[in-house]
Structures are given as structure tokens and as C-alpha cells.
Amino acid sequence: MEERLPQLRAELDASFCVVNGENAADGVGITPKLAARILAAGADVITLGNHTWRRNEIGPYLSASEQVIRPANFSPLTPGRGLTVRPAADGTPVAVINVLGSLFMSPAISMFERIDQLVAEAQEQTATIVVDVHAEATSEKVALAHWLDGKVTAVLGTHTHVQTSDARVTRAGTAALTDAGMTGPHDSVIGVKAELAVHRMRTGMPVRFEVAEGGVRIEGAVIDCDDSGRARAIEPVRRSFP
Ligand SMILES: [Fe+2]
């Protein structure tokens, strides 16, 4: 990312960039140092997910940060925020909301209970709203995109690490993609050295996972929207690097 994101941002003419960074620290969680490096590489906002708390030092950092957010449907007793508004390159405020699905996750409350209030809060500040729905189940992500149709600019899924082929823009002007995919080594089992992941699955024995190295790609999506926050187009991004 540090090598390729600045060039890719310029090439795609991206005026705002959101990165899901919850696997940045050797596959699980993120540290303040890594967050700073991702922001320096060209991210405007970093979202997180189920691995948010894996690194102890992230709590105080999230309390102070306006650029790194965690799922909004975590307990209100945890540090950080799940909604932020930051300026795009042309000054347009962009709201980013991060929520966590329910299947195999443990959100304090359902994202569906929190999302209306979050969108209303965002709408008070801007019409351009991006939702990162970090979830295992495609059905939950598709359902959220339906619920938010016409209310937000984009609903983008993360967590499964496998980019889906359902990029679409609805008639009401919401772009959606069930999973944006993975930036990392694709010669792997979703980022982990394949032999280690396979060994654990075959035997059920504990195995210390290591991050793989080959087949590095940047994956994501580019959304084009108008001044009123309506999406006009969505294009999945999938770039391989030798
Ligand atoms: Fe995740």
C-alpha cells in the first residue's frame, strides 16, 4: 500500500479514500503506528471490524482519532467512534460509517438498531455518506444495502477478503458491493499461509498463523457520485503487483 496507493489514487482520480485496516497488524488488528502509515500512504479514513481490540494500544488512539473509526454498534463503553466526517480533496465533507454484522461476530447491538440514527447524524453534516459494513454473511450486507437504498452514497462490505461480483448502483443512487475484497497476498487462504490454514482445518489442531507473501493485490472499489451524494457508478478495483 505504501508503495502503490499514492500512484493508484492519482490514476483513479480518487478525491477520497477509505481503507479497512483491521488486518494490518500481521493479520489481526491494527497499531497506532500502522494506522499512521496507512493514513500517510493516502487513506483519509480507516475503518475496522471484529479484530479492533486485538492490540492493546489501539484503545487510547481510537479515543483521540477522527480518522480511524471502529464499528458503531460496539458497546458505547468502548473507546472510539463509528462515524466520522472528513473533507475530500475538493473540500466536500464525506461521512464514513462503520458497522459490524451479527453472524459469527459479537456486536453489542444489531447494526440495524444503530444505523438509522447514524445515517441521520451523518445527513446533518453531508449528503455524501459511505458505509463500511463489516460482516461475514452476504445476506446481512445485501439487506443493509436494501435498507439504506437512496439514503447513502455507498454501502461497501468488508471482512470476507473475497471480492464479490455484484457491484451495482440502484435507481435511487446508492452504490453497493457485498465485499470489496482483500489488499494483501492472494496466494494464501484469505491472507494466511495456505499450508498452515489447511493443516488447522484438516486436523483441528492449533496452528500459529503466519501472513502469506505471494500474489499481492490491491482490491477495492471506486465510486463516482454527484454533489447531492447520489452515486453514478461503481467500479471494482483489482490490481496485481509482481
Ligand atoms: Fe474482519
Q: How many CA atoms lie within 13 A of 63 on its CB side?
A: 7
pLDDT at 242 over 90: no
- Residue 197 alpha carbon to ligand 1 centre in Å: 16
- Residue 233's pLDDT band (boundaries 50, 70, 90)? very high
User: What is the percent of the chain with per-residue pLDDT over 90, rounded to a whole number?
Assistant: 99
- Residue 241's pLDDT band (boundaries 50, 70, 90)? confident
- 161 among known catalytic residues: no
Q: What is the pTM of this model?
A: 0.97
- Residue 160 alpha carbon to ligand 1 centre in Å: 7
Per-chain mean pLDDT for the chain: 97
Tell me the average pLDDT across 22-28. Answer: 94
- Residue 105 alpha carbon to ligand 1 centre in Å: 9
| Residues around the ion ligand 1 (C-beta < 5 A) | 49-50, 159
- Name the active-site residue from 51, 134, 159, 186: 51
- Residue 231 alpha carbon to ligand 1 centre in Å: 26
Q: What is the pLDDT of residues 172-200, one digit of tens each?
A: 999 999 999 999 999 999 999 999 999 99
- Residue 229 alpha carbon to ligand 1 centre in Å: 27
C-alpha cell at 97: 460509517
Q: Which residue has the cell 496452528?
A: 207
